[in-house]
Amino acid sequence: MVEEPWQVQIFKRSLKKKEKFKLLEKNLLIEPSSIILDLGCAQGILSYFLRQKGGFWISTDLDFVNLKTTQNLLKKNLAQMGPGIFPFKSKSFEMVVSLDYLEHLENDELCLEEIHRVLKKGGHLVLVTPHTGRLFFLHKLRSLLGLKLEFYGHKREGYSLKDLREKLNKAHLRIEKHETFSRFFSEFLELILNFLYIRVFPSKPAAGLRDGHIRPSTSFEFKSRKKVFKLYSYIYPFIWLFSRMDKLLFFQRGYGLMIWAKKSD
């Protein structure tokens, strides 16, 4: 029996990634002829499933290590790019999908301007970022636990809906709808898992990656933590069950923010 790619194994036991993909799967409509820019594919964990929805995808990242790792999973249509001007012609894409990428950039406004430039008229943007605000207690707890933004590769904690709306409007990208995900219990569990990975089972990353080091970043690192992952797999059903308590918090905004926007000119 052929073993599943390590990225897929991580996905199947990730609370937040599965919730994120469920939202995407429900709302992402892709025509077979669509050309889509996958902006910030990291290790390809979500890109692998998104490509199965059809269309022609080009997956990019700032880090060569990420792309090399992703190549074994996605196989083709991969491109490394810098944090500035995109290496693509104007009006090249029907859609840009940017998952947990914007918060890693110093100049996020330039990125949004470039997204506008490479989108075709009437093109769409799907954007996911961490969600912030005054009452987001777990962001404060993360700091108290010593989990610095640099561990996540973040330049900022995240965005409020108001902040993103202003930045998107400035780039002539109009929000059509938005949703939040990962409420308190799911986010709390993710925080504890990040803490354990960084503080209790630390490993030296292969390179300083733009997406930090809160999970395995290469197959070698995954294999070196195989026993820990196996233990986690045994207790995952109980972790998942505990996370379902989020359903009691239907009135609460989640710690992840997903936005669907359209090029407005």
Residue 264 has pLDDT above 80, yes or no: yes
Query: Going by C-beta distance under 8 Å and a sequence separation of 6 or more, which residues neighbour residue 207?
Result: 63, 65, 217
Q: What does the pLDDT look like over 164-211, one tens digit per residue?
A: 999 999 999 999 999 999 999 999 999 999 998 887 766 655 455 666
- According to CATH, the topology of domain 6-263 is Rossmann fold (3.40.50)
Residue 213's pLDDT is: 66
Predicted TM-score of the model (pTM): 0.92
Residue 77: name the closest of 105, 47, 33 by CA: 47
Contact 74, 51 (CB under 8 A): yes
